[in-house]
Chains A and B, each alone.
Chain A
Amino acid sequence: MNQLLKQAISTLIRMVLLLVGVSMVTFLLVISSPIDPIDAYVGAESNVSQEQRDNIAEYWGLNNPPVERYFTWLSNLIKGDMGTSISYQKPVTEILGSRFLASLTLMAVAWLLSGIFGFLLGVMSGAMQGSIFDKCVKALCFVLSSTPTFWIGLLFLMLFSVVLGWFPIGLSVPIGKLSSEVTLLERVHHLILPAFTLSITGISGIALHTRQKIIDVLKMDYVLFAKARGESKWTLIRRHGLRNIAIPAITLQFASISELFGGSVLAENVFSYPGLGSAASAAGLKGDVPLLLGIALCSVLFVFAGNLIANLLYGILNPQIREGGKLG
């Protein structure tokens, strides 16, 4: 128990250090970016007087030294106040809340899709190594993994939304409808294309990894012995293959969350999907420091949680770790 507590504390400390580090780097990057937040806020061609601009700068605290600005933000954060977004004119917590939910749905669907399809494709093509099916899957995976997400998104938009008209070309709800009137079906309809796009690049990585793992497992002595005991190929894969690749596959699946987050920024922009990803690029382009810092912290927590879950699951699933201490 003592051991567990120690581990929990050290994890917590690591997380806090990571949050502080990432927020510092993000802050440094935004304040050294050439974008002037006031220009971005009032618009480049507006006729706001210099005096008014100075007032805004004073009001936002842009004239204070950077270190002071960072610590003001940090002390407010500890009190639970993440500040106000200058581009949306709303509290950052409110924006994060609504946007995070939208992104989470998108990412969860993409994550499940890529996990399930990637795993199935990988197992089947690994089991049939060298067959035509395997060659096709491999070729498809190489093409997909070397294709950028946003480009696939654009192609999908052109094909499914513009030419075929099956799906809307953007946003998460129909345009011009009150949010209280939007049905679940409409939300799902808007979610399909971005989720599919986002999952596509994940599929190839997971399928190729799983394929290689299955091939490795099938070369093991215990598979040869199981074969000598009369197990057929698919029994082998079901009894020994899946069992032995499950642990690395789950680890990989949770570790892929960080890539998923990166991919969602691009996918959300292409589909104008109002999630965290599109908010991040908007905040970056408008020099919106509080919002960008909020998003950065949010994504750090998200990715950190993914990796932590992978680590914990590994210990729970692998008997060699779970029961290693018991018999000595």
Chain B
Amino acid sequence: MSTANILDVRNLSVSFLMYGRGLEQKELNVISDLSVAVKEGEILAVAGSSGSGKSLLANAILGILPSNARVKGEMLYCGKKLDSKQQQRLRGKEIALVPQSVGYLDPLMKVGQQVIGADGCREKQEAVFKKYGLADFVKKLYPFQLSGGMARRVLVSTAVIGDAKLIIADEPTPGLSKEIAQTAMGHFRSLADEGCAVMLITHDLDLALAYADRIAVFYAGTTVEIAAAKDFRAGVDALRHPYTKALWRAMPHNGFQPIEGSQPYAGDLPKGCLFAPRCPQRTEACEEKPSMRPLRGGEVCCSNAT
């Protein structure tokens, strides 16, 4: 590997304690055994359907999960352990989140002030606004006065102002027109080209493929495959995991074929491979939990993949 891993997530599990009937306690595994890494200068897209735990992954990295969440596993930031103390120190500065929508901005605070944040300065804000082509008067607007395109640029500005090394974008494109979505993705691409590591959390596989370097395919709270974006372009045979293949076939221009069944509920996960109940190639080996292994330049979490 030529470039260094900015973020390295190893065997991360996130669970919530739920109270059932009476005193019964239930552990809800929303993320299980997840491993993923983001390198300097690349966009890693984390793609998966809704409810697969993508946003929680972002919150886990930033250390802003609700207090009833339990986190297991290990996270490394630039080779150093990312514990809650480090998270507190780094978030908003070296690790930045770009949220989904203006709903994540304080509705009663002027945009300029919000981009500056608790410890930025006016000069930096003006420079960032200039960079993203935001007129000076925008800083005096309230979030509800922003247009869709302005909102995207303001949200990216909040991350850029702190000189972030790792940018986590949580579903940055839904509800946007194609042009605005493409411009937004263009911002992330140029940030990566400037040396940032970008983790792009999305369910828009199509858009992700156009801009990301690698794709981590998410299923039921874990990564089933990490593949280069070009593998998706090369066709179904270049892909490794049966779920990724099924995803590929389900894309509109690849035949639009859905597969049976649906993603298992976090409180009721299958014992072995999480995808086994829906897998057309399942064997006895699938009763055992598979683990992530390198395969043909990518990684896969399947006992049978070749």
Residues of A bordering B, CB below 8 Å: 221-222, 224-231, 235, 239-240, 243-244, 247, 318-320, 323-324, 326-327
Contact = CB atoms under 8 A, between A and B. Distances in A.
B64 A224 contact: yes
Given A225-B97, A239-B109, A239-B118, A230 B104 contact: no
B71 interface: no
A231 B158 CA distance: 13
Residue in A222, A230, A231 whose Cβ sees the most chain B Cβ within 10 Å: A230
Contacts of A320: 107-108, 142, 144
Contacts, number: 72
Contacts of A221: 99, 103-104
Given A228-B64, A229-B117, A323-B142, A240 B106 contact: yes
A324 B117 CA distance: 24
A189 to B, nearest CB: 42
A299 to B, nearest CB: 34
A240 B92 contact: no
B108 A318 contact: yes
Interface in B107-121: 107-109, 117-119
Contacts of A226: 106, 118
A222 B104 contact: yes
Nearest to A322: B142
A179 B164 CA distance: 71
Interface in B84-134: 88, 90-93, 96-97, 99, 103-109, 117-119
B191 interface: no
A230 B108 contact: no
A320 B144 CA distance: 7
Nearest to B92: A230
Given A239-B118, A244-B108, A320-B107, A230 B158 contact: no
A230 B97 CA distance: 10
Interface in B29-70: 59, 62, 64
Nearest to B144: A320
A244 B88 contact: no
Given A230-B91, A239-B118, A323-B145, A225 B104 contact: yes
B103 A222 contact: yes
A284 to B, nearest CB: 45
27 contacts: A221-B99, A224-B59, A225-B97, A225-B99, A225-B104, A228-B59, A228-B62, A228-B96, A228-B97, A228-B99, A229-B91, A229-B96, A229-B117, A229-B158, A230-B117, A230-B118, A230-B119, A231-B92, A231-B117, A235-B118, A239-B106, A243-B108, A244-B106, A318-B108, A320-B108, A320-B142, A327-B145
A243 B118 contact: no
Contact of B106 (A235, A243, A323, A326): A243
Chain B residues touching A, range? 20 to 34
A131 to B, nearest CB: 13
A235 B144 CA distance: 23
Contacts of A230: 88, 90-93, 117-119
A251 to B, nearest CB: 14
A225 B105 contact: yes
Contacts of A228: 59, 62, 64, 91-92, 96-97, 99
Contacts of A227: 64, 91
Contacts of B105: 222, 225
Contacts of B145: 323, 326-327
B92 A229 contact: yes
Rank and list the top 10 A-B pairs by shortest CB-CB distance, nearest first: A230-B92, A229-B92, A225-B104, A228-B97, A222-B106, A319-B142, A221-B104, A230-B91, A231-B118, A240-B106
A169 B117 CA distance: 54
A244 B92 contact: no
B19 to A, nearest CB: 16
Among B59, B90, B117: residue with most chain A CB under 10 A = B117
A243 B104 CA distance: 15
B47 to A, nearest CB: 21
B172 to A, nearest CB: 13
B142 A243 contact: no
Contacts of B117: 229-231
A224 B97 CA distance: 11
A10 to B, nearest CB: 28
Given A225-B99, A229-B118, A244-B106, 4 more contacts: A221-B103, A222-B107, A227-B64, A228-B62
Contacts of B59: 224, 228
B103 A229 contact: no
B99 A244 contact: no
Contacts of B158: 229
B97 A229 contact: yes
Contacts of A324: 144
